[in-house]
Structure 1
Amino acid sequence: MAVMKVIEIMANSEKSWEEAVKNAVKTASKSVKNIKSVYVKEQNANVKGDSITDYRVIVKITFEVEA
């Protein structure tokens, strides 16, 4: 039986929400092994004038705990 754990992290990108999610997984994978899935919990963006300057996400990352 596999034991799974979920962590919640925030990440950002200047290009898109999709890239922000990719950044979250890439950064988490540096210290967390066996990542199985990512769930986007929240998306928001910073705006300056009439342009989005920063895309932000809060994600839940699920990984398998090694016994």
Structure 2
Amino acid sequence: MRMVFKYIDILGESAKSFEDAVQNAITETARTVKDIRTAEVMKMNAIVNSDKIVEYQAVVRVAFKVRRKEE
């Protein structure tokens, strides 16, 4: 059987770290998307206020298996 995958880009955020931002993106995506297979960090940003990082952001490209109706 052939498998087909779809990619979507997700923006995760965290006040703690880039790692948490990536994990938040995956965790939230998994609530509605099943069979996540890979996650690729595409971009990282830091929001700065008064010379301090106040938020970490990660754009994550998530790949998941496309399911057929009979699955």
Partner in structure 1 of residue 32 of structure 2: 31
Displaced runs of 4 or more, over 2 A: none
Partner in structure 2 of residue 55 of structure 1: 56
Report the RMSD for the aligned CA atoms in angstroms. 0.7
Q: Which runs of 5+ in 2 are unaligned?
A: none
CA distance in 2, matches of 1:29, 1:4: 15
Task: Give the structure with higher Rg (CA).
Answer: 2
TM-score (norm 1): 0.94
Whose strand proportion is higher, 1 or 2? 1
Percent same amino acid at aligned positions? Answer: 37
Aligned length: 67
Q: Which runs of 5+ in 1 are unaligned?
A: none
